[in-house]
Structure 1
């Protein structure tokens, strides 16, 4: 007996030595793969780029792995218990390796010949996810075990669990549980219920198999099993268990939901930062805070949307997407399948016309429901003929659609759904804070997902008369006044820079004779602008216009410059208008306010050139050059670059006052609906109506709107800057200016108001009844005149402002 025991002891000892030798040999093989303590503590997650508005609303996210890291303290207890119940109920009691689990896995391998389960603890899963591949080999498994044992020595249980919660893949590109909460429920972790915690806790085992969106029935079984385990382990009581298992599956594919739609902005930021960071941009966890105001961005989105659709409906209905009479009585599945052949606008729906009556149509929507569409939802749909004409207005439903038609519908407050069509026309809007150039809202087109071309920054189009204020400011700066008279009469120019003799005209071919500059600008008279530039000279004017930020090399070196024939972007135009808005200072548009790294440290802070109205200049500073000044921000006194003055304050105010007349009496009269006396602006329409513009401002904000076709087709008869773009500007500025006090451009005290003859622009005779008031710089006041005879029969006027032009005068221009 003793001999037998001795033999068994020796065999056991040899076995133990052999096992130890094997373990040592394996350790020697894998030791180079075991991370050091420093490497474990330096673990960094791949975190996507996130872009926010200045008021911390999410705009966009870029990165293959959707992840929102959370600390252990932020992990809800119910979620922690659900994960432990599902993956590793002994987590807080084992040293990183569960021996029984490994023995169970080994038994399965021996009996089946295949690795069926790894017997992995949460620690082992963290080791595999952070340091190893997912190949199923013995060597990888041994490496995983050694890393897990070391990890338990170097990190606390809470640190290991935190790594697991943030790293594990949970389907739909979601890495980590907070990302899964957003993807499947559109919420953060703290907002989920017990049933939802159990649902996402079931995902690590097999994210595709137990996905609550793709396989809700299988996911439900897994969820309820986890809840049962939690009850058995004493993690929840029976009441909580019962309520949770009875809860319905509410998961959907939310993706990562932006708080505000600003896709063109997000892409601008991504593109700019990629030049610096490359592919690391999508994994480094940078957080970008832009200058965008979330409310104004939403208002801009809605204004452009409404403006484009209003234009589209004005020009008629281009017809249905298709007619499929075979689908009228087809199965619901076949009807819905037919919709997949067509693209649509986000939040719109496709519909199949099932039947029609005179006053309504019954249609099948994409979601399978049938609704009645009233005639009021389609009474706009006169047949489209071309951009200049449409057919007769419909009188009954059958004039618009017949059974079998597949149509587009958009949401409508009055009729629930409204007949629609994907617009071909485009529009863009850019709004700047004129005090420092911060971009507060930007819309680059009607639908980013259909066309990512950003018309605010990438499209170069002719601004037409929208450019004239820069020409006129050059004239005022060089001795002309608002009362200077230019003869609006036929003229022929033989310019060596032009291909042939040029005869500029006004809209309709009319000429109005001697015209004061103020009138010429608010009426947008072309001939006056051309004659004015001819008198000043193209080269000196180009040199002057450079101060607004325009590159003279990008501008035409001939008289067509006066009519806005340059190719410029809306951003360039809006940037130029900030000078008029802020009192004569040049600021640079900027979009990124600051950038934080994954730890919340600021790695970039914008220092925009700022108009020095509320700052204290440092001693010895020249205001005419961009330099430093002390600026009082809410967070304290900071040092910022001071914007240089590029336009004399007196000239600037006179230009502002003239452009206020554009809205009072001229081409921007529609904006009077805002009932704001502080706003000014200018329309612009190019030759043949290919581009329609409106740029307007007060003392704080500048907004430019452009409308046109990408292929440069004409917008059609009656479509001008004042009809195609100004309504969009109004619809944006109405909420922007609501509840704000008037913000006027500051008027220099050195300006003088003088009574003038409205016909000649000269100083009025004493007692002249039709005299009007005009602003002048002291050195440019017209000479005093002495009446030698009674004034002729003249219209009496007590007004101190310009009289509105007669109704028969064409006030929009071709260029």
Structure 2
């Protein structure tokens, strides 16, 4: 008995000594490590790396930028059963322990003694929060001890729900997904609140080993892990036996879902990304900023679709350039086809495909299309495919599929609308033709021609839609803002506006006659001419504009003066650095970007007020706090600089809430120009726009020498839209191509939808405008009862004088009027 007592006392003594030594060692570690531990308060200030997201004005996702996908959520937004799944998988005693689970640590210690290596680590969720937010992932004793100390601190200062929320928003769950909400979107394309029990358990299995238990890369192993977690949930009383049985036998439905953008607007998204990086540096990609743009998703998609359709139409008019690649028939084994197509990218809506058979008797080509599989190209979609020779010459129209493609050709195709075959009726009882139920695709090709479309809200400069090329995946070059091209005749409205402000009128007469310039500085004599090659003699300025008479424009610029016109362009804030300082300026020989031209047309459209194009409506931080809001634009006629300075002073360091747009052009001159440019649509080169059936459309076509650049700029009082079409490396588009055939159809396609349901919007008639009846030949005031007289619109001081009773009725003169041939202009 005494021996047992002595032994007990000895063990007790060893225990006390061991405990004391452990306490001393632990205290020593604590005193050594404590000064270097971060404060728990930092947890609440840490910004989780959250990507930059760009949205349209109507809250449609346009783009997401950033290395990590993350969407922070509060614990209240996470279903309780999902929380239980993570607790069952990672830390079932989370709500019971004080940050450190002694049982878990003892288990880890036993594993270390028995194997010589650290196995599980025994970390609680709180310890994982400490590690993920503050510590490295090194598997060392010092790091583990720091982890324990931090976990104890965190538990003292934060409640359990807040700790669990921090954990679920920070953990890495594979495939660039950080946090539970991002993982739910990545693997199941829906928020975590909509997941099934089986899907929740699958996500809960990922933290342990995101690669090994990944349901996409290793579905079998991921399924085993999921079912183990479901079993734990059942054993812990979180789910019933029936729920376990149903979830554990559910199929694995995970797949990879890239961020699903809702609007095809890559060029303007890139503009937003660059602006955010300029403002915030690399933090733009990680600090969770949200950018709302001015573009409307519907109009933006219409702009993208219209530009692509117009470029494809031009491209097909000029023939088929042949396949983009060729493979031998030996390579067309079914098992080879997916890999074969992987090397050819999809471009916009065009899909690469390989021709596997050509059947002239069935009028089809059989193909294998990337991502779509087996399909056919009906011959009816190939009839456009004359062989391309030059921009002005194509081969004969094909008569059968083999005239266009061969087996092994790799071509681009696109989806097509299939017209349903009607069943026989009593009136047509004959047998309906047999239909081919295979997927039908249309032959296409990636256009070489490029273009841009910019649509601005005329009174504010807000970008309604912008497309900078056929496909952003081809090149990130944004032609809307970067391409400096000759505007051709779309420049003429600015020249005519200058003339109207300087006393010329729509009825001023200029001679449309040959003119020759022999300048020693020019390599050749310049003999400008109209696009028709003809000359038409004395012409009123109104008619000269809507018929785009080049010789009249040259004489008008010579009359106004080149330097004076350049100064007026500067007044309108049109860039003049790349403007020619000679008479070719009248024909648009200078260089402007499509955005420059769109802004200039917006100034005309809104009545002559300055507008600054902008595309960012607001910027908010990760917490939804507004960092920037675009100022409201208010049109201003007088003392604008003084009023703006007062607004800026009132705003202090904040962005001013209002921007005053000063008047740049005389409103009466602008009003008259509107009426002249409406005649471009009614009577001139823009007649195709009559298809809109509207009375409020003004515009101007433009085509440069050799058809290298083609344009159309059109507007009503609310919206200005400009389209450019050309090759990136300037080259002729073809003898039969003009602004009216290339750019105007794109403009029309977009504006038809953009203006649908919108009321007519004409510039209000300002004071000081008069209508005078004039002689259409001379431009002078018409005599009472004179036949063929027409009405023209003038500024009061520029109206033709009253006729002297002794004047001859048909005497010609230099000034006077011209105008609408069929109706009175108001």
TM-score with structure 2 setting the length: 0.91
Indicate yes or no: 2:272 matched with 1:254. Answer: no
Identify the residue that residue 444 of structure 1 maps to in structure 2.
Answer: 468
- Give per-residue Cα distances to partners, 1:137-160, cap 9 Å, x unaligned: 111111111111111111111111
- Give per-residue Cα distances to partners, 1:775-809, cap 9 Å, x unaligned: 111111112336779978xxxxxx983369xxxxx
CA distance in 1, matches of 2:148, 2:131: 9
CA distance in 2, matches of 1:480, 1:82: 81
- Give per-residue Cα distances to partners, 1:318-346, cap 9 Å, x unaligned: 1112232324652x221222112323314
CA distance in 2, matches of 1:512, 1:593: 50
CA distance in 2, matches of 1:501, 1:536: 23
Indicate yes or no: 2:696 matched with 1:692. Answer: no
- Give per-residue Cα distances to partners, 1:86-115, cap 9 Å, x unaligned: 111211111111222222222222222222
**Which consecutive unaligned segments of at least 5 residues does structure 1 have?**
631-637, 793-798, 805-815
Identify the residue that residue 710 of structure 1 maps to in structure 2.
Answer: 728
CA distance in 2, matches of 1:501, 1:83: 83
Q: Which of these residues, 605, 623, 646, is aligned with residue 599 of structure 1? A: 623
Give the match's secondary structure for 2:559: helix
**Residues 299-448 of structure 1: matches in 2 within 5 Å?**
299-327=302-330, 330=333, 332-358=334-360, 359-367=363-371, 369-414=373-418, 416-448=440-472
Indicate yes or no: 2:259 matched with 1:241. Answer: no
User: Quick one: structure 1 residues 724 and 626, their matched pair in 2 at CA, closer, same or farther if it must change by over 3 Å?
Assistant: farther
Q: Which of these residues, 654, 659, 665, is aligned with residue 641 of structure 1? A: 659
Give the match's secondary structure for 2:662: coil
User: Quick one: structure 1 residues 803 and 689, their matched pair in 2 at CA, closer, same or farther if it must change by over 3 Å?
Assistant: farther
CA distance in 2, matches of 1:304, 1:249: 42
Identify the residue that residue 72 of structure 2 maps to in structure 1.
Answer: 69
Shift of 1:629: 9.9
CA distance in 2, matches of 1:467, 1:483: 20
Indicate yes or no: 2:758 matched with 1:754. Answer: no
Q: What is the Cα-based RMSD across aligned positions, in Å?
A: 2.2
User: Quick one: structure 1 residues 356 and 225, their matched pair in 2 at CA, closer, same or farther if it must change by over 3 Å?
Assistant: same
Identify the residue that residue 622 of structure 1 maps to in structure 2.
Answer: 639
Identify the residue that residue 545 of structure 1 maps to in structure 2.
Answer: 569
Identify the residue that residue 783 of structure 2 maps to in structure 1.
Answer: 765
Contact 1:766 1:786 in 2 (8 A): no
CA distance in 2, matches of 1:2, 1:238: 52
Indicate yes or no: 2:592 matched with 1:568. Answer: yes
Contact 1:628 1:642 in 2 (8 A): no
Indicate yes or no: 2:188 matched with 1:153. Answer: no
Contact 2:392 2:735 in 1 (8 A): yes
The 10-residue stretch of structure 1 (15-24 or 40-49) with the greater mean CA deviation from structure 2? 40-49
Indicate yes or no: 2:196 matched with 1:179. Answer: no
Shift of 1:215: 2.2
Identify the residue that residue 219 of structure 1 maps to in structure 2.
Answer: 222
The 10-residue stretch of structure 1 (234-243 or 747-756) with the greater mean CA deviation from structure 2? 234-243
Identify the residue that residue 60 of structure 1 maps to in structure 2.
Answer: 63
Identify the residue that residue 802 of structure 1 maps to in structure 2.
Answer: 821
Identify the residue that residue 653 of structure 1 maps to in structure 2.
Answer: 671
Give the match's secondary structure for 2:465: strand
User: Quick one: structure 1 residues 625 and 724, their matched pair in 2 at CA, closer, same or farther if it must change by over 3 Å?
Assistant: farther
Shift of 1:247: 3.0
CA distance in 2, matches of 1:690, 1:65: 44
TM-score with structure 1 setting the length: 0.92
Q: Which of these residues, 149, 168, 175, is aligned with residue 165 of structure 1? A: 168
CA distance in 2, matches of 1:110, 1:624: 80
- Give per-residue Cα distances to partners, 1:623-651, cap 9 Å, x unaligned: 58773899xxxxxxx95222111111110
Indicate yes or no: 2:144 matched with 1:126. Answer: no
Contact 1:287 1:598 in 2 (8 A): yes
- Give per-residue Cα distances to partners, 1:30-66, cap 9 Å, x unaligned: 2234221322332321222222112222222222111
Shift of 1:533: 0.3
Identify the residue that residue 807 of structure 1 maps to in structure 2.
Answer: none
- Give per-residue Cα distances to partners, 1:518-558, cap 9 Å, x unaligned: 11111111111111001110001111111222233332211
Give the match's secondary structure for 1:509: coil
CA distance in 1, matches of 2:221, 2:634: 60
CA distance in 2, matches of 1:92, 1:327: 65
Indicate yes or no: 2:457 matched with 1:455. Answer: no
CA distance in 2, matches of 1:761, 1:246: 89
Shift of 1:709: 0.8
Give the match's secondary structure for 2:793: strand
CA distance in 2, matches of 1:768, 1:200: 88
Identify the residue that residue 651 of structure 2 maps to in structure 1.
Answer: none
Identify the residue that residue 681 of structure 2 maps to in structure 1.
Answer: 663
Contact 2:543 2:819 in 1 (8 A): no
- Give per-residue Cα distances to partners, 1:700-723, cap 9 Å, x unaligned: 111111111111121112111111
Contact 2:632 2:657 in 1 (8 A): no
Give the match's secondary structure for 1:641: strand
User: Quick one: structure 1 residues 346 and 648, their matched pair in 2 at CA, closer, same or farther if it must change by over 3 Å?
Assistant: closer
User: Quick one: structure 1 residues 269 and 335, their matched pair in 2 at CA, closer, same or farther if it must change by over 3 Å?
Assistant: same
Shift of 1:604: 1.5
User: Quick one: structure 1 residues 347 and 303, their matched pair in 2 at CA, closer, same or farther if it must change by over 3 Å?
Assistant: closer
Identify the residue that residue 556 of structure 2 maps to in structure 1.
Answer: 532
- The total of aligned residue pairs comes to 783
Identify the residue that residue 298 of structure 1 maps to in structure 2.
Answer: 301
Shift of 1:414: 3.1
Identify the residue that residue 780 of structure 1 maps to in structure 2.
Answer: 798
Contact 2:453 2:722 in 1 (8 A): yes
Give the match's secondary structure for 1:610: strand
Give the match's secondary structure for 1:456: helix
